[in-house]
């Protein structure tokens, strides 16, 4: 059985690693959010509905990306009691 994180010894313990991991996280979130927004532009909804759906998509995309970063790199392990 594989443990978490999949990539060991690359957690946000120093400044450079923290910036690299945060940039990876933000790239995942922004690319998936912009992709969902482009798909949403084809729908025939009013602006308020599109904004609401974008916020909901953004929340779930962020939740997914943070979970993925936790599994791969152990990102955010310092915020939990289980180390």
Q: What is the pLDDT of residues 20-34, one digit of tens each?
A: 889 999 999 999 988
pLDDT confidence of residue 31? 93
Domain residue spans in the chain? 15-76
Using alpha carbons, list the distances in angstroms from residue 67 to 27, 50, 56, 79. Answer: 15, 26, 17, 13
Q: What is the pLDDT of residue 82?
A: 57
> Tell me, what's the pLDDT at 28?
92
pLDDT at position 39, please? 84
On whether the CB atoms of residues 25 and 74 are closer than 8 A, the answer is: no
Q: Which parts of the chain have pLDDT scores under 70?
A: 1-3, 78-83
């Amino acid at each position: 059985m594989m443990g978490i994180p999949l990539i060991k010894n690359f957690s946000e313990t120093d400044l450079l690693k923290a910036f690299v991991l945060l940039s990876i996280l933000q790239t995942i979130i922004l690319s998936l959010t912009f992709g969902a927004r482009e798909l949403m532009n084809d729908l025939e909804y009013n602006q308020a509905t599109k904004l609401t759906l974008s916020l909901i998509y953004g929340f779930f995309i962020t939740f997914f990306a943070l979970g993925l970063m936790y599994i791969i790199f152990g990102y955010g392990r310092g915020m939990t009691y289980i180390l």
